[in-house]
Amino acid sequence: MAKTRKLALMALLTAIALTIFVIEAQIPALVPIPGVKLGLANIITLITMCLLGKKEAGAVLLVRVLMGAMFAGSPSTLLFSAVGGLFAYLTMCLTVGFFGENRLWIVSALAGIAHNAGQLLACVLVVKTPGVFAYAPILAASGVVTGVFTGFAAQYLLKALKKLKL
Amino acid sequence: MGAMKTKNLLWALLFAVIVLGGVLVYRSLGKGEGTVAVVSVDGEVLERIDLSKVRTPYDIPVSTPYGNNTVHVEPGAISVTEADCPDHVCIYQGRLTGSGIPIICMPHRLVIEIEGGDIDG
């Protein structure tokens, strides 16, 4: 893929991810559990990884997390979202080759668990209250549910995008 | 292809176990004993209140470098009733009456815990 073409595509994907992130932040919490959210922007990270590569997905994720905190979050939530994002990204990098594009839902579920684990760990370190670990079981469950959902979404989107021959 | 299907099924099963187990464990928590509530920001204890000794309800305004919350103290329970964070999850968490699961306002780094009597940790 030509360099300019790739750059344009990455910018487009970042803009889409950021839009999804900002819109999702406006939706009121679905459950009264801190740290639980759908994580729809994860769909873009996944398809960027499959379409362009791991480095490119990392770049799109990094820019989205930083700009997302500017537009929809706050400096104090940036840390949680960055650590969660990093854990999820590393998990995707390690598992996407093994499972392949037809089993992104498994990659995504594992990444969802990793995201919530990273976020919880960052939270416990910041508030220095081990009691916060009480949320670990429900956050693992939520990571799986939202991860499977976004994983299937990414899988179907990827199939459609490949027909477009980007 | 058959082997792949079996493997997928095993993953689905594992995930189902995590979801069910997680929900069940979470629901079993939060029923611990204890009456002493601890309000802290950034790990620093602001207030320590014995809820069993509270007779009349009152509010504690909590100002953190990240934002403001109103903590409502009543006989036997504590809750967050106002917050200027974007998500308000701490308010939706409702009234805390026992140890096990703390109230957390992540954007403001506020934690309200009830110290457990016989609960480990």
How distant is the Cα of B23 from the closest Cα of chain A, in angstroms?
6
CA-CA distances (angstroms) from residue B115 to A4, A124, B29, B33, B101?
58, 17, 13, 8, 10
Is the per-residue pLDDT at A76 higher than 90?
no
Q: Where are the alpha helices (DSSP H) in A34-103?
A: 42-51, 54-71, 75-99
Q: Rounded mean pLDDT of B27-36? A: 85
- Nearest CA to A43 out of A138, A90, A114, A107 is that of A107
Are residues B90 and B57 part of one domain? yes
Q: What is the DSSP letter of B86?
A: S
The CATH number given to A3-164 is 1.10.1760.20
Q: What is the pLDDT of residue A152?
A: 97
Q: What is the pLDDT of residue B120?
A: 44
| Residue ranges making up the domain that contains B18 | 1-30
CB-based contact (8 Å) between A127 and chain B? yes
Kind and range of the H or E run holding A140? helix A136-164
Range with the lowest mean pLDDT among A11-15, A46-50, A71-75, A149-153?
Answer: A71-75
Token output for A50: 């499959």
CB contact under 8 A, A25 and B40: no
Number of domains in chain B: 2
Question: Above pLDDT 90, what percent of chain A?
Answer: 80
The mean predicted confidence, pLDDT, of chain A is 93
Which ipTM value was assigned to this complex? 0.89
Query: In this structure, is residue B120 part of a structural domain?
Result: no
Are residues B53 and B13 part of one domain? no
Are residues B45 and B21 part of one domain? no
Are residues B55 and B41 part of one domain? yes
Are residues B93 and B40 part of one domain? yes
Query: Mutate which of B25, B106, B112, B114 to disrupt the A interface (most A C-beta within 10 Å)?
Result: B106
Are residues B65 and B105 part of one domain? yes
How distant is the Cα of B55 from the closest Cα of chain A, in angstroms?
27
- Nearest CA to B90 out of A90, A121, A23, A32 is that of A32
Q: Could you tell me which residue, A29 or A40, shows the higher pLDDT?
A: A40
Q: What is the pLDDT of residue B1?
A: 61
Q: What is the pLDDT of residue A28?
A: 84
Are residues B79 and B20 part of one domain? no
Are residues B101 and B63 part of one domain? yes
Cβ pair B77, B87 in contact under 8 A: no
Query: In this structure, is residue B97 part of a structural domain?
Result: yes
CB contact under 8 A, B30 and A134: yes
Q: Report the C-alpha gap between A155 and A105 in whole angstroms.
A: 7
β-bridge pairing B103-105 and B77-83: unpaired
Is the per-residue pLDDT at B121 higher than 50?
no
Contact residues for B61 (Cβ-Cβ < 8 A; gap 6+): B68, B69, B70, B71
The mean predicted confidence, pLDDT, of chain B is 90
Are residues B104 and B84 part of one domain? yes
Query: In this structure, is residue B70 part of a structural domain?
Result: yes
Which of B21, B105, B111 is closest, CB to CB, to A137?
B21
- Nearest CA to B34 out of B52, B47, B56 is that of B52
Query: In this structure, is residue B121 part of a structural domain?
Result: no
Q: What is the pLDDT of residue B119?
A: 43
Q: What is the pLDDT of residue A16?
A: 97
Are residues B12 and B61 part of one domain? no
Residue B31's pLDDT band (boundaries 50, 70, 90)? Answer: confident
CB contact under 8 A, A137 and B26: yes
Are residues B40 and B25 part of one domain? no
CA-CA distances (angstroms) from residue A95 to A88, A98, A161, B29?
11, 5, 22, 32
Are residues B42 and B26 part of one domain? no
CB contact under 8 A, B18 and A113: yes
State which of A17-21, A70-74, B103-107 shows the largest mean pLDDT: A17-21
Q: Report the C-alpha gap between A66 and A72 in whole angstroms.
A: 10
pLDDT tens-digit series, residues B58-108 = 999 999 888 999 999 999 999 999 999 878 899 999 999 988 899 999 889
Which of B29, B43, B85 is closest, CB to CB, to A134?
B29
State which of A66-80, A86-100, B83-97 shows the largest mean pLDDT: A86-100
CB contact under 8 A, B109 and A33: no
Is the per-residue pLDDT at A9 higher than 80?
yes
Contact residues for A93 (Cβ-Cβ < 8 A; gap 6+): A49, A54
Q: What is the pLDDT of residue A43?
A: 97
Token output for B64: 């953190």
Q: What is the pLDDT of residue B117?
A: 60
Query: In this structure, is residue B21 part of a structural domain?
Result: yes
Q: What is the pLDDT of residue A73?
A: 75
